[in-house]
């Protein structure tokens, strides 16, 4: 369900575009898997999306972006973007940010890709990274603003009070934005990669003359690899729009 935070912003930006959403609920969580496994899972997901005639793919997952983006971009002809590069560009241009905190899954933090990407644009920044492996499973359970969420956020974020900005480097983490903001305080800017991804995608489609016409009526499709009923219930709570139907799909056969 983490990708719903990205889907939400993309749908706002693209009222005329058809959107196909795929959630790999069967193989979640990705954060504890090997790089090879994550690449294979990401390829399966992209193969399925291509079978739906998509013109671009957004990898709405921090772990899959960090582990698989470079590999899959070499395999497919259509544009593929992840959540890291657009966010790193935004941070580098913000003159009020000097010290950056990054929270993400263990696999993403281990890859060091957030730090490398941010410093690639501005090597004067100080980066503090912290893995938060329990937050994504908690978000999947809907534990996003209860006492368990509060205590877990406190434990993971206790060394990140003095940063100027905190990057929510897993797409599940914006679902816990309330306890995170309360703990780190209002002076810390929370950076949700979904905003930057949506802006980057809009620019890319415009530059490539790939955008849908303004009179096109958008259609939306939702697919998951398992637990469609549970996903549908959660999507209705997270999204401002009604999700009428979620279809199960075996992406391993694509």
**Annotated catalytic sites, by residue?**
61, 170
**If you search the block for the tokens 């470079």, which residue do you land on?**
70
For tokens 């749908």, the residue is 11
User: Cβ neighbours of residue 87 under 8 Å, at least 6 residues apart?
Assistant: 167, 191, 193, 196, 197
CA 99 to chain centre: 22
Let me know: does 183 contact 213? Beta carbons within 8 Å.
Answer: no
Q: Where are the beta strands (DSSP E) in the chain?
A: 19-23, 57-58, 80-81, 99-104, 126-131, 165-168, 189-191, 220-224, 247-248
173: nearest Cα among 163, 162, 184, 164: 184
Cis peptide before 29 (omega within 30 of 0): yes
């Amino acid at each position: 369900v983490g990708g719903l935070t990205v889907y939400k912003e993309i749908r706002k930006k693209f009222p005329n575009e058809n959107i196909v959403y795929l959630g790999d609920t069967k193989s979640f969580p990705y954060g504890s898997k090997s790089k090879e496994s994550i690449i294979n899972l990401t390829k399966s997901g992209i193969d399925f999306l291509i079978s739906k005639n998509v013109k671009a793919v957004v990898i709405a997952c921090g772990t899959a972006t960090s582990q698989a983006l470079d590999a899959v971009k070499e395999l497919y002809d259509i544009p593929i973007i992840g959540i890291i590069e657009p966010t790193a560009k935004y941070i580098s241009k913000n003159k009020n940010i000097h010290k950056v905190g990054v929270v993400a899954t263990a696999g993403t933090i281990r890859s060091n890709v957030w730090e490398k990407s941010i410093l690639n644009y501005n090597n004067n920044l100080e980066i503090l990274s912290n893995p938060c492996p329990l937050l994504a499973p908690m978000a999947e359970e809907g534990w996003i603003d209860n006492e368990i969420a509060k205590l877990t956020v406190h434990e993971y974020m206790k060394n990140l009070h003095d940063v100027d900005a905190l990057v929510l480097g897993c797409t599940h983490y914006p679902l816990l934005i309330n306890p995170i903001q309360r703990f780190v305080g209002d002076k810390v800017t929370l950076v949700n990669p979904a905003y930057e991804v949506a802006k980057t995608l809009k620019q890319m489609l415009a530059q490539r003359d790939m955008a849908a016409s303004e009179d096109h009526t958008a259609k939306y499709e939702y697919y998951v690899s398992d637990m469609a009923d549970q996903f549908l219930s959660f999507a209705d709570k997270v999204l401002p729009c009604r999700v009428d139907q979620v279809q199960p799909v075996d992406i391993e056969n694509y």
